[in-house]
């Protein structure tokens, strides 16, 4: 009996060693790919109601409410996204449209109903404020991992997260010098991302405040971005999240900027 127990213990130890080896053998690029897959490509498409609370350095608040629709062309590949604003009155009817491209710059447009104007957002503006919040346009649709040189760092904090360092390949195109991303080893969801300047001072921080499982997919339902320069922050909360809802490609066209596909926003 003791011999049998010893053998079981040995097998268990070897399996744990093998698991640890497989886990640690992942490269930084493999980790970020898994993270992007979990964060932005859950299901073949998705829909969510969002509430954004913008708080300036003096504690004054603004609210934004909108619906996000997303459809994948290919996992870790091209993707389509529409964001329809419903509140407050001054942004109601505004629509943000994205054609996410992996091998070229994303295409982004903003429809302004008061002017009946479709405004093309240039690649150089992707890291500017999204409708007055601390989120950037690029935060909403996701940063292309091909734009950064990635390094897997070691951390003594815990054994539940990967710690990655990303340095932009084109430093002149962004406001940060590098970032560090903490990624959950089980779900591969990024739970914390901090952006630094050249002196190592913090510029911005993204922190996940709440996650839940939706249709088998780990899903962020509350996150916050904090701007250190003025101590402002924006909370982003999601409800009614659903995946694989069967969104047709016709939803993600220029026509939907002016003619809202109400059927898919409920």
DSSP-derived letter for residue 101 is -
pLDDT in tens, 205-228: 999 999 999 999 999 999 999 999
Task: Classify residue 21: in a domain, yes or no.
Answer: no
Q: Does residue 24 carry a pLDDT above 60?
A: no
Task: Classify residue 25: in a domain, yes or no.
Answer: no
> What tokens does 246 get?
């069967």
pLDDT in tens, 107-152: 999 999 999 999 999 988 999 999 999 999 999 888 988 899 999 9
Residue range(s) defining the domain that contains residue 62: 32-264
Task: Classify residue 16: in a domain, yes or no.
Answer: no
Number of domains in the chain: 1
Task: Classify residue 178: in a domain, yes or no.
Answer: yes
pLDDT in tens, 153-210: 976 567 899 999 999 999 999 999 999 999 999 999 999 999 999 999 999 999 999 9
> What tokens does 1 get?
């009996």
Task: Classify residue 4: in a domain, yes or no.
Answer: no
Task: Classify residue 1: in a domain, yes or no.
Answer: no
Task: Classify residue 23: in a domain, yes or no.
Answer: no
CATH classification of the domain holding 120: 2.50.20.10
Name the residue with tokens 């739970």.
191
Q: Does residue 5 carry a pLDDT above 50?
A: no
Residue 69's Cβ-count burial label (10 Å; 0-12, 13-18, 19+) is buried
Q: What is the DSSP string of 195-259?
A: EE-TTS-EEEEEEEEEEEEETTEEEEEEEEEEETTTTEEEEEEEEEEEE-----GGGGSTHHHHS
CA dist 199 and 182 (Å) reads 21
CA dist 92 and 65 (Å) reads 9
Task: Classify residue 175: in a domain, yes or no.
Answer: yes
Q: Is 69 helix (H, G, I), strand (E, B) or coil?
A: strand
Q: How many C-beta neighbours within 10 Å does residue 19 have? A: 10
């Amino acid at each position: 009996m003791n011999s049998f127990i010893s053998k079981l213990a040995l097998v268990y130890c070897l399996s744990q060693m093998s698991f640890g080896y497989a886990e640690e053998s992942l490269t930084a690029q493999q980790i970020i790919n898994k993270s992007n897959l979990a964060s932005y490509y859950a299901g073949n498409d998705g829909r969510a109601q969002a509430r954004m609370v913008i708080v300036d350095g003096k504690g004054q608040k603004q609210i934004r409410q909108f619906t996000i629709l997303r459809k994948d062309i290919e996992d870790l590949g091209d993707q389509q996204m529409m964001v329809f604003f419903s509140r407050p009155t001054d942004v109601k009817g505004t629509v943000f449209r994205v054609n996410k491209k992996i091998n070229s710059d994303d295409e982004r447009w903003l429809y302004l109903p008061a002017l009946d104007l479709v405004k093309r957002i240039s690649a150089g503006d992707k890291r500017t404020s999204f409708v007055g919040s601390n989120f950037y346009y690029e935060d909403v649709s996701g940063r292309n991992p091909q734009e950064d040189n990635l390094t897997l760092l070691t951390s003594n904090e815990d054994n539940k997260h990967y710690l990655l360092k990303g340095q932009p390949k084109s430093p002149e195109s962004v406001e940060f010098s590098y970032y560090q991303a903490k990624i959950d080893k089980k779900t591969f969801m990024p739970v914390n991302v901090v952006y630094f300047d050249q002196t190592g001072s913090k510029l911005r921080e993204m922190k996940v405040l709440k996650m839940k499982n939706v249709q088998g997919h780990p899903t962020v339902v509350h996150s916050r971005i904090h701007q250190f320069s003025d101590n402002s922050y924006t909370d982003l909360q999601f409800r009614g999240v659903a995946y694989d809802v069967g969104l047709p490609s016709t939803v993600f066209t220029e026509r939907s900027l002016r003619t809202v596909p109400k059927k898919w926003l409920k």
